[in-house]
């Protein structure tokens, strides 16, 4: 019988860490090793856990994640493989981007990697929609794009969760990052292939989890003046055989809510619009804690450890 692979979640007590631990509990061939809660900030104790682990998942703030990587690197050839769920390494040299469906080669790149950066939840949806259209030449790399997104509050960290669940001081809905300098933008550009900086406007609603990412397009402004069917066909071709579902004939729908995929690792893509008006609306739906965080981390771990 093959030896079980050991995974240490550095930051297991947080929202993403708990979700990852829950998902790993059902994975054959993997076991989670946990640090004594009183030692979770003790560098020597964490280093010992890293030495014992085959892989480490970092569920930490960016600066702490960088420190954790340096700690792991001090083990040299005994260093574990790392999946970083923070934003610290998503465009960093030497790190593989952990969106396995990015293109036909990305899953193999993750399998061979020792350092994988988990995608952000918002970028997962936007990149999933745009990368196939950019690769197909339907959307030019230098085309001005706007990305609008709404997420449940669970992705906003401890303070935001408390404002919704404990103090009840949070509004029903709010836009944020209105200075248009959100840290997800470099990630969006790097993995969509866009060379013209997109406008990204995130928002949060008064629901725990679930996400919609939407991108409007003027079809007659695209070089080939594509139809809705052309957009859908490009997405279908790109994701054939993958776990990403392109929902057919979405143009006949009139409403879409964000919570339908909660507690799953699914990702759905929609092409809404009106050919007569030459307007399209691309939408991705996912659970921000699922495919947008913990689900992607588990998928990456399984690939890196030879379990998928």
Structural domains in the chain, CATH included, are 5-120+293-304 (3.40.50.720), 121-287 (3.30.360.10)
Strand order through the sheet with 211-218: 173-175, 199-205, 146-152, 211-218, 279-286, 267-274, 244-246
Strands 115-117 and 146-152: unpaired
User: Which residues fall within 8 angstroms of residue 242, CB to CB, at 6 or more apart?
Assistant: 100, 101
* Residue 219 token pair: 């079809």
Under 8 Å between Cβ of 183 and 119? no
Strand order through the sheet with 30-33: 30-33, 5-10, 55-58, 81-84, 115-117, 96-97
pLDDT at residue number 168 = 85
Among 202, 142, 155, smallest CA distance to 174 is for: 202
pLDDT at residue number 2 = 65
Among 55, 41, 15, smallest CA distance to 306 is for: 55
pLDDT at residue number 300 = 97
pLDDT at residue number 260 = 96
* Residue 120 token pair: 């952000």
3-state secondary structure the chain: CCCCEEEEEECCCCHHHHHHHHHHCCCCCEEEECCCHHHCCCHHHHHHHHHHCCEEEECCCHHHHHHHHHHHHCCHHHCCEEEECCCCCCCCCCCEECCCCCCCCHHHHHHHCCEEECCCHHHHHHHHHHHHHHHCCCCCCCCCCEEEEEEEHHHHHHHHHHHHHCCCCCCCEEECCCCCCCCCHHHHHHHHCCCCCCEEEEEEECCCCCEEEEEEEEHHHCCCCCCHHHHHHHHHHHHCCCCEEECCCHHHCCCCCCCCCCCCCCEEEEEEEECCCCEEEEEEEECCCHHHHHHHHHHHHHHHCCCC
Strands 96-97 and 55-58: unpaired
Instruction: Show which residues are catalytic.
Output: 121
pLDDT at residue number 308 = 83
pLDDT at residue number 1 = 52
**pTM for this prediction:** 0.94
pLDDT digits (tens, 9 = 90+) for 82-103: 999 999 999 999 999 999 999 9
Among 70, 24, 11, 77, smallest CA distance to 307 is for: 24
User: Which residues fall within 8 angstroms of residue 37, CB to CB, at 6 or more apart?
Assistant: 13
**Which stretches in the chain have pLDDT values below 70?**
1-2
């Amino acid at each position: 019988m093959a030896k079980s692979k050991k995974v240490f979640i550095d930051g297991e007590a947080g929202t993403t860490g708990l979700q990852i631990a829950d998902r790993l509990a059902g994975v054959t061939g993997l076991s989670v090793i946990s640090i004594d809660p009183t030692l979770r900030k003790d560098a020597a104790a964490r280093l010992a856990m890293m030495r014992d682990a085959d892989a480490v998942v970092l569920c930490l703030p960016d600066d702490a994640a960088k420190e954790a990587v340096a700690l792991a690197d001090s083990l040299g050839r005994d260093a574990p493989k790392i999946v970083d769920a923070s934003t610290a390494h998503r465009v960093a040299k030497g790190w593989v981007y952990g969106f396995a469906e990015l293109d036909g080669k990305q899953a193999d790149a993750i399998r061979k990697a020792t350092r994988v950066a988990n995608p952000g939840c918002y970028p997962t949806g936007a990149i999933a929609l745009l990368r196939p259209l950019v690769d197909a030449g339907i959307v030019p790399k230098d085309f001005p794009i706007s990305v609008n997104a709404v997420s449940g509050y669970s992705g906003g960290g401890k303070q935001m969760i408390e404002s919704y669940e404990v103090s009840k001081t949070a509004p029903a809905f709010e836009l944020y990052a209105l200075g248009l300098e959100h840290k997800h933008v470099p990630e969006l550009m790097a993995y969509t292939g866009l060379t013209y900086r997109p406008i990204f406007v995130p928002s949060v609603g008064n629901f725990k989890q679930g996400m919609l990412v939407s991108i409007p397009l003027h079809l007659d402004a695209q070089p080939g003046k594509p139809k809705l069917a052309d957009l859908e066909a490009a997405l279908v071709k790109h994701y054939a055989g993958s776990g990403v579902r392109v929902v057919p004939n979405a143009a006949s729908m009139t409403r879409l809510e964000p919570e339908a995929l909660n507690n799953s690792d699914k990702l759905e893509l929609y092409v809404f619009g009106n050919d007569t008006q030459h307007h399209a609306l691309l939408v991705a739906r996912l659970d921000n804690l699922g495919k947008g965080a913990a689900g992607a981390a588990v998928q990456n771990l399984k690939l890196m450890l030879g379990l998928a």
